[in-house]
Structures are given as C-alpha cells and as structure tokens.
C-alpha cells in the first residue's frame, strides 16, 4: 500500500514536471540584463569603496527584480502579448508614440553599455582598440542572436552557457579571495557610511530594473501561450514563479559575488578603481593573473550575451508599439550605430557606461508604471489579475525605484555641472 502511494506521488511529480517544463526559460534570458557590464562597474565600486557595507542593497535589489519580472511574465501569459503591444492597444496614440520613442532610446542606451563592456573586455584581454573591440562584440552578439531563429530553446541554451561562464568566473575569484564571513553577515543589515554611500546605494537600487527586460519577458512568455488552454495557462504561471526565482537568484548571486570579490580583494587598495580596466589590474595584483583573466572573460561573456538580448528586446519594442518588424540585421544596426560612434569618437568607456545608465533611468517609469497598472486590471488579466497585496507591493517598489532613479539623475547632473 505504501509502495503504491509512493508510486502515485512519483507519477504526479513527473506529471507536474512535464506540464511545467515547456514554459521554463524566458526568465533565464532576461536575467542576463542583471549581470551586464553596468552591474560590473557598480558592484565593484561598492565593494572596493565600502567593503561589505552594501551587501543588503544587492539583496533588496534582487527581491525587487523578482517581483517586477514575475509581473512582466504574468502579463505575457494572461494577454499573450508584450507590454509594448498592450500599451499600444490600451493607450491613445499621443501616449503610445512618446512611449515608443523613449523605449527606442532605452534600447540604444542598453546596447551602448553592452558593446562598451565587451570592447573593454577585449582591450583588457588582447589590447584590442575600443572601436575594433566594439565591432567584434556587435558581430559576436549578432551571431548569438541568430540562434533565436532556430528556436527559443536553442537561444535560451546559448544564454545559459554565457551565464555559466560569468558564474564560473565569479566563483573562481570568490575562491581566490579571502572573504570575511563576519563582514558578509554584517553587510545584510541596512546601514550607510556617509553621503557617498547613500548615493552609491541609490545607484545600485535605482538601476535594479532594466526597462528592456520588462518589455522582453512578457513577449517571451506570451509566445509560449499560443493555442494553450486555461489549465496550461495555470501551469505556465506556476512555471514562471519557479523560472523567475531561479533565474533572478542566479543573477543576484553573481552580483553579490562581484561585490564580495571587490570587498575582499580591493577594499584595501589606495588607487582609483573607478574604471573596469583599473579593477581588472588591481585584481591581478592582489589575487593573481588567474583572477584577472576570470574577471575579463566574465565581462566579455556579459557584453556578448547582454547585447544580443538587448537587440531582441528592441525588436519586441518596435513590433509591439508600431506593429512593424525590421529584419534582424537592420534592427541590430539601429541600436549598434550610436555605440560605435561613441567608441569611434574616443569617449571614455566608463563615462559612456555612466551616461547609458542615466538614460536607462529615465526609461524606468515608462515601463514600470504601465506594467503595474495593466497587471492590476481585471479586464485585461482575467483570472491572473494581481491580488491587492501584490499591486500594493508592486506600486511601492515602482515608487521607490522611480524616486531613486530621479535622485540618481539629479546627482549625476550636479556632478557633471
């Protein structure tokens, strides 16, 4: 009798797994947005300047990311469309056109950060000129993106490989670093150390949610729902809870690893570590060539993968807002050209990264606010409409992120004034 019960339980588990498996994967693709080159710069700066002080910021940021990406995924399941497409149908043209224009600007800023990151990695590894490195990154990202035409699973598998490279590189450096468990635990308690740490924490929290990841996630989950039944819709939602938690946890662990590595190995450095090149050099001096190589390879993998995902998001944005789909190569050129121009003009790559993050900050409200509004609509979401507590939490997170991004933009403007 007991054996029969065990067998029934196993069959039920297999059945749940079979129902869930087809809907797993979209969150893995969007997770790459949370370990892009901009995150490298921010988390390394936090660890190098303040040690383990801002560990709690990474943890809070990750929880926020989970909630927002889950809402984006749920929107796709319920409506079978992306956020951009729903906005086009729901809002008047005078609202849709500005939304589209700012989303295109966000796509350009996103590609700028990813291409610059890849170019810096190639310069570190091989001494490649930045413009040449940016071109190589763009070509490599495009080649990766073409895998999407062979099927979502193929592209997801490729992104998983790149995430694995990044994770392996961070794991190597954590192993080589002399991490202080006590300092790590103390860093979980929210606290600051002067105005500069508040500003840095604002930047880390404010840059949590990437607009292009919001647009893309719903499109990816919506694509899996064609012809699905109500029961399969429920299975997809359950799968996305798992998918989002696993993918965002991986991204959070990677960001935490970056901060911990910098805190353990670079906090005692007296030199300026404001650039990725400087951080790479300091890691080599403190932890050895293997650590420096692991950092550079992780940065390169981040640039390649994040750039391809950014272009895919740009395609989703244009198709959703305008109901037009450009050839992949042309779509790539639209967002790539400004990045290559910036590198060709000799703009400091770290400066370019900062500018791109400020532009992304402007785009946050235009994706986040409509997302919360739409997922709270019973008419649009049906049985998957947000519960009141979910809408309340999402509204609070949206308000916090929008305010922090405004603070970040203002402080950046003051610093450049």
Q: Rounded distance, CA 185 to CA 175, Å?
A: 18
What integer pLDDT is reported at residue 69 of this predicted model?
Answer: 94
Token readout for 354 is: 């900062």
pLDDT tens-digit map of 74-100: 999 999 999 999 999 999 999 999 999
pLDDT tens-digit map of 299-345: 999 999 998 998 888 889 989 998 887 777 777 777 778 888 888 88
Angle at 67 between CA 156 and CA 173, to 5 degrees: 60
pTM: 0.88
CATH topology for 26-416? Amino acid/polyamine transporter I (1.20.1740)
Angle at 177 between CA 175 and CA 58, to 5 degrees: 90
What integer pLDDT is reported at residue 416 of this predicted model?
Answer: 55
What integer pLDDT is reported at residue 211 of this predicted model?
Answer: 86
Q: Rounded distance, CA 143 to CA 48, Å?
A: 35
Q: Can you list the residues of the chain whose pLDDT is less than 70? A: 1-22, 206-208, 226-227, 268-274, 412, 415-417
Q: Is 314 exposed, middle or buried (0-12, 13-18, 19+ CB in 10 A)?
A: buried
**Angle, helix 83-90 to helix 211-223, in steps of 10 degrees:** 90
Q: What are phi and psi of 403, to 5 degrees?
A: -60, -45
What integer pLDDT is reported at residue 375 of this predicted model?
Answer: 96
Q: Are 163 and 250 in contact (CB under 8 A)?
A: yes
């Amino acid at each position: 009798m007991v054996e029969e019960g065990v067998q029934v339980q196993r069959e039920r588990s297999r059945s749940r797994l079979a129902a869930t498996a087809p809907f797993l994967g979209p969150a893995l693709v969007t997770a790459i947005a949370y370990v892009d080159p901009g995150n490298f710069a921010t988390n390394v700066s936090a660890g190098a300047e303040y040690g383990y002080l801002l560990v709690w910021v990474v943890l809070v940021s990750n929880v926020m990311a989970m909630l927002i990406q889950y809402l984006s995924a749920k929107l796709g399941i319920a409506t079978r469309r992306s956020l951009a497409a729903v906005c086009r149908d729901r809002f008047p043209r005078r609202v849709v056109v500005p939304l589209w224009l700012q989303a295109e600007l966000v796509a350009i800023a996103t590609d700028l950060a990813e291409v610059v990151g890849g170019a810096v990695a190639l310069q570190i590894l091989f001494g490649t000129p930045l413009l040449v490195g940016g071109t190589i990154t763009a070509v490599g990202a495009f080649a990766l993106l073409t895998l999407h035409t062979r099927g979502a699973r193929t592209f997801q598998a490729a992104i998983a490989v790149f995430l694995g490279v990044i994770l392996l590189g961070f794991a190597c450096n954590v192993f080589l670093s002399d991490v202080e468990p006590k300092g790590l635990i103390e860093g979980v308690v929210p606290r600051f150390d002067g105005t500069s740490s508040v500003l840095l924490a604002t930047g880390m929290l404010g840059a949590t949610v990437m607009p292009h990841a919001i647009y893309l996630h719903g499109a990816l989950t919506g694509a899996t729902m064609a012809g699905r039944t109500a029961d399969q819709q429920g299975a997809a939602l359950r799968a996305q809870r798992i998918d989002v938690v696993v993918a965002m946890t991986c991204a959070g662990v990677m960001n935490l690893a970056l901060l911990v590595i910098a805190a353990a190995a670079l906090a005692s450095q007296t030199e300026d570590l404001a650039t990725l090149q400087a951080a790479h050099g300091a890691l080599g001096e403190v932890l050895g060539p293997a650590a420096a190589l692991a950092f550079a390879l992780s940065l390169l993998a981040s640039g390649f993968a994040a750039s391809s995902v950014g272009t895919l998001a740009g395609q989703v944005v244009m198709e959703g807002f305008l109901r037009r789909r450009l050839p992949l190569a042309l779509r790539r050129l639209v967002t790539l050209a400004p990045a290559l121009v910036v590198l060709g003009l000799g703009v400091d790559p770290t400066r370019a990264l900062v500018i791109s993050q400020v532009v992304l900050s402007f785009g946050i409200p235009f994706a986040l606010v409509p997302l919360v509004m739409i997922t709270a609509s019973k008419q649009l979401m049906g049985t998957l409409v947000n519960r009141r507590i979910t809408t309340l939490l999402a509204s609070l997170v949206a308000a916090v992120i929008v305010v922090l991004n405004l603070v970040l933009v203002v402080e950046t403007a003051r610093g450049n004034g």
